[in-house]
Chains A and B, each alone.
Chain A
Amino acid sequence: MFDVALSPAGAQIALATSSDEKHPPENIIDGNAETFWSTTGMFPQEVVIKFQTLMRITNVHISSYNVKKLKLEASETEDSNKYDTIAETELEETDSQLQQEEIQLGEKRAHSLRIVIESGFDHFVSLHKVVVSGQAMHH
């Protein structure tokens, strides 16, 4: 198993609903928890991570701040708009430290992963790091 949501591993950000160039969404797949993507107001917010190829993924670890309700959706094809919800969770509020959320998926196939932040504990939330454990599927 590898972290397939790393930019050196070929992962890319396909879409994000907030953009502050000082805190771009690419920061969540750079492997560094010090850099972050910041939302810039209102909910819901979403970011889509596109993997290099179709992956079999087993769990997702998210380091974040002020996120309340979160939903993960997966798409199996490269350019489809068809996403299936694979996990939904509600996070605990933390005080001046990152939320660390581990989400077990069993085994899911995904070419891209959409992270939907449905609500937050404040106006703005940050995602620092998303680790997706998985491996490429061989046909």
Chain B
Amino acid sequence: MPTILRCKCIIVGDATVGKSSITQVFHSDGSHFPKNYVMTQGVEVLVKLVNIPETSDSVEMYIYDTAGKEIFSDFVKRLWDHPSVIMVVYDCTSETSFSSCVKWLERVRAQSPNTQIPGALIANKVDLEQRRIISPKKGQELAQANKLEYFECSAKEMQNVDTPFFYLANEFHKVYEERAELFNSLS
């Protein structure tokens, strides 16, 4: 029987940066991009199984697509206990959404301050080249300063949406392997 890890993936970022679009494109294997905006209230949870290459293991990702509107923040925080991995999303055409990233990240990390939580920083809407304000370099620097892995994607064009999820699933699997070795060395 293969090992199946369970991973609680919290997706945060300002309203309208595309968190739900990213989640739904990934969840539907690129067959569904929500064309109309529907504001997420509270949290929507989607589950998807990711296989870990070169092993028979897989990671079942419980994706917590979280409301970005501030009015829901007290409510959604209660659903963030024990985060496994974090995905912080910004819209590369919006300065405000970029400068909110650290705030979102800190809110999730505050749930388990002593736990190392793998994280990814996502620049979404990179298809809007003309309107882009936040350069790749700025994104990379912010990621590095906050121990996140940097990714660019376009949910609308279905480009590179899977990569950050695969990255996070792999990181979580690595943590598991390390811990299993640690447990083995005890007693």
**Contact surface of A with B, Cβ cutoff 8 Å:** 18-23, 33-34, 36, 38, 40-43, 63, 65, 96-98, 119-124, 126, 128
Contacts and interface: CB of A to CB of B under 8 A. Distances in A.
Given A36-B184, A41-B6, 11 more contacts: A20-B180, A40-B4, A40-B5, A42-B6, A63-B187, A98-B187, A122-B115, A122-B179, A123-B172, A123-B175, A124-B180
- Could you say which interface size class chain B belongs to? 20 to 34
B72 interface: no
Given A40-B5, A41-B176, A123-B176, A65 B186 contact: yes
B157 to A, nearest CB: 32
Contacts of B182: 65, 96
Interface of B: 1, 3-8, 59, 62, 81-82, 84, 114-115, 172, 175-176, 179-180, 182-187
A42 B3 contact: no
A41 B84 contact: yes
Main SS at interface, chain A: loop
Given A40-B4, A41-B84, A123 B115 contact: yes
A124 B112 CA distance: 13
B172 A97 contact: no
Nearest to A42: B6
Contact of B82 (A43, A98, A128): A43
A52 to B, nearest CB: 26
A120 B180 CA distance: 15
A40 B82 contact: no
In the A-B complex, the 4 residue pairs with the closest CB atoms: A41-B6, A126-B183, A20-B3, A42-B6
